[in-house]
Structure 1
Amino acid sequence: MQAFLSRLKGLVFKSNRPRREKVHGKWSIGIFTGTSPFDLSADDSASNPVIRAADVTDGQANFVADPFMVHEGETWYLFFEVDMIRPEGNIGKIGLASSPDGFAWTYVGIVLEAPYHLSYPYVFKHGDDYFMIPETRADRSVHLYRATDFPLRWAHAKTLLAGRRFADTSIFRHDDRWWLFTDSGNTTLRLFGAAELGGPWKEHPRSPLIRKNPSIARPGGRVVTHDGQLIRFAQDCYHHYGDKVWGFSISELTRKTYREEKCPQPVLQASGAGWNRSGMHTVDPHLLADGRWIACVDGFGDGGAR
């Protein structure tokens, strides 16, 4: 009887696990536009994907993904993960592309690399300086970089957090205070706060905000403000990694409280064909002067074959 119960328990446990789909393809980067961060779609002005692995000229790339962009002067700058192929094993580096209009992009080159894998280059401006927090979970840390010669040269400024495999750290400013979301294992969303960018950073009393939920835990893009509310984006990794992206309206964020509401429809999802046929997992929306939104996104599919 005991042996039977043990087998039964194992069967029940397995039935509650997420169903992992096997999907094949590569990541590439596109441009979407829309009326809000929740309403984005492909724009005819952009020949998606705008950046492919084949566009990388300073090495052989397996894929490009995790795009973030900023607008400085008359130029858009796009930063993204480049998965470089090496005999000893692929490694992630941070690449750069530029555009005069946000739609037609030219690859520039690798601007940041380390002895370990880099991805998710969350770039932002504070005061007169540009900063970047790339994902460095292979180093079990969150590192802050500052541009010494924007956009080409970056120097390590400070280590903000250490001791965990922090993934896809997303930083933002709210009520004169710094906050950041970060994930561990695609299932656990943590929230940290600090009075100053350099810290010290302390975990929020409600953190972890999400436990053991691969559908909504891992950050999936820049935290933005829309209609007076903060919006966070989350990757849905339930069926497979990078399946789709959900949006959440943050209704309350203080040093002691946190509340959010999930958008009823995915912000990004697989198209079923082409460069993003099987998934999408990063979005970086920006409000334009005419009231439209433009966003760099990534998609998993044919890798941008043309």
Structure 2
Amino acid sequence: MIKRPRTDFWQVGIAPLPIQDVGASTLSAVRDRITWLPEAGRWRYLADPFGLVRGDALHVFVEAFDYRIKRAHIERHEFALADLSWRGQATVLEQPFHLSYPQVFEHGGETWMVPESYQAGEVALYRATDGSLNHWQRECALLAGLPGADASLIEHGGRWWMFYTLVGPNARDQRELHVAHAPALTGPWTPLAINPVRVSRDGARPAGRPFIGRDCVLTLPVQDSSTGYGSATRLLRFPVLTPEQVVIEAATERLTGNLVSHSHTAGLHTLNGCGDAFTLIDVKRIDRSRGKQWLDFKRRLRRLMG
């Protein structure tokens, strides 16, 4: 008997909770007040949310994945800040290779994005070219020649820090955490000599932008893939972070999809603070219908026919 395929579908939500207060109990307490992004459509999903608050709007940037082409582009969804009513969406970045994890942030009077683009063999920096946040220009490669994934940046202690993983054999990207540092956003970026700083499937691949916790310690959300890719998220604290030394304290608490959703309980693999009052999350359900096999067959046939 042919084994049924496993297809992951993600859903993005806006939780009314500051990132510094996120935990299993606090997420459960706000589950009925989470605002979910619209469904992406058949054989599509939205994941990896990052956000910006501008004026009266909350902008949520997401990976928009389509199983029919097995590739994603970056979309921006706009919400009214007052009541989180959805105002619409736009495709803001598309390349001939896969894009995801669109970390957006403001620095030096500009708005920047560092999307995952490991298929291009680089970690690249993009800049918004107008106030609409719909047009982006590639500025430079921060790390070139590396299949870096889910790069997560923060300015801390007078330096810029990048947490990332590397795509490679035997699910390397799910078990290794790497760190690089730079004197400025545009570099030059130097990977730590002691990389990888953590090797563990229960918490290595970045799951959101680093933030400063209530205890004033730099904290990084990471994926816990010990029971499957993106099955949960946990937090890593960095009481010591220098180019020569890294001390990591891993939280034992796992944040899972069932804390916030009745339908998408198989995973939670992104936590991102947005403004002072919101945390963006994504949760996963698993589909085992045979329609995916027919979809894959049609895609291979189109490729063979050019």
Range class of TM-score, shorter chain: 0.7 to 0.9
Distance in structure 2 (CA, Å) of the matches to 1:217 and 1:263: 12
Q: Which of 113, 121, 141 in structure 1 is aligned with 2:102?
A: 121
Q: Secondary structure at the match of 1:66?
A: strand
Question: Which residue in 2 is equivalent to 1:18?
Answer: none
Distance in structure 1 (CA, Å) of the matches to 2:259 and 2:32: 16
Distance in structure 2 (CA, Å) of the matches to 1:148 and 1:272: 36
CA contact (8 A) 1:246 1:268 kept: no
Sort the Cα spacing of 1:190 and 1:181 in 2 relative to 1 into closer, same or farther, 3 A. Answer: same
Query: What is the percentage of aligned positions where both structures have the same residue?
Result: 28
Question: Which residue in 1 is equivalent to 2:266?
Answer: 278
1:90 partnered with 2:70: yes
Aligned length: 269
Question: Which residue in 1 is equivalent to 2:229?
Answer: 241
Question: Which residue in 2 is equivalent to 1:28?
Answer: 11
CA contact (8 A) 2:266 2:286 kept: no
**CA drift at 1:25:** 4.4
Sort the Cα spacing of 1:234 and 1:65 in 2 relative to 1 into closer, same or farther, 3 A. Answer: same
**CA drift at 1:162:** 1.8
Distance in structure 2 (CA, Å) of the matches to 1:46 and 1:238: 27
Distance in structure 1 (CA, Å) of the matches to 2:210 and 2:43: 28
User: TM-score if structure 2 supplies the norm length?
Assistant: 0.81
Give the 5 Å matches for 1:99-114: 99-101=79-81, 103-114=84-95
1:189 partnered with 2:177: yes
Q: Which of 168, 180, 198 in structure 1 is aligned with 2:186?
A: 198
1:163 partnered with 2:151: no
Which 10-residue stretch deviates more, 253-262 or 294-303? 294-303
Task: Spell out, residue by residue over 1:253-289, the C-alpha distance to the aligned partner (whole angstroms, 9 max, x if none).
Answer: 122111121123124444496342111100102452x
Which 10-residue stretch deviates more, 101-110 or 251-260? 101-110
Query: Partner letter of residue 62 of structure 2?
Result: F
Which 10-residue stretch deviates more, 255-264 or 272-281? 272-281
CA contact (8 A) 2:53 2:274 kept: no
Q: Which of 10, 18, 38 in structure 1 is aligned with 2:22?
A: 38
Question: Which residue in 1 is equivalent to 2:136?
Answer: 154
Give the 5 Å matches for 1:214-253: 214-227=201-214, 228-253=216-241
Query: Partner letter of residue 128 of structure 1?
Result: G
Q: Secondary structure at the match of 1:138?
A: helix
Sort the Cα spacing of 1:118 and 1:145 in 2 relative to 1 into closer, same or farther, 3 A. Answer: same
Query: Partner letter of residue 237 of structure 2?
Result: S
Aligned-residue CA RMSD (Å): 2.2
**CA drift at 1:94:** 0.1
Q: Secondary structure at the match of 1:159?
A: strand
CA contact (8 A) 1:66 1:80 kept: yes
Query: Partner letter of residue 238 of structure 2?
Result: I
Question: Which residue in 1 is equivalent to 2:291?
Answer: none
CA contact (8 A) 2:255 2:268 kept: no
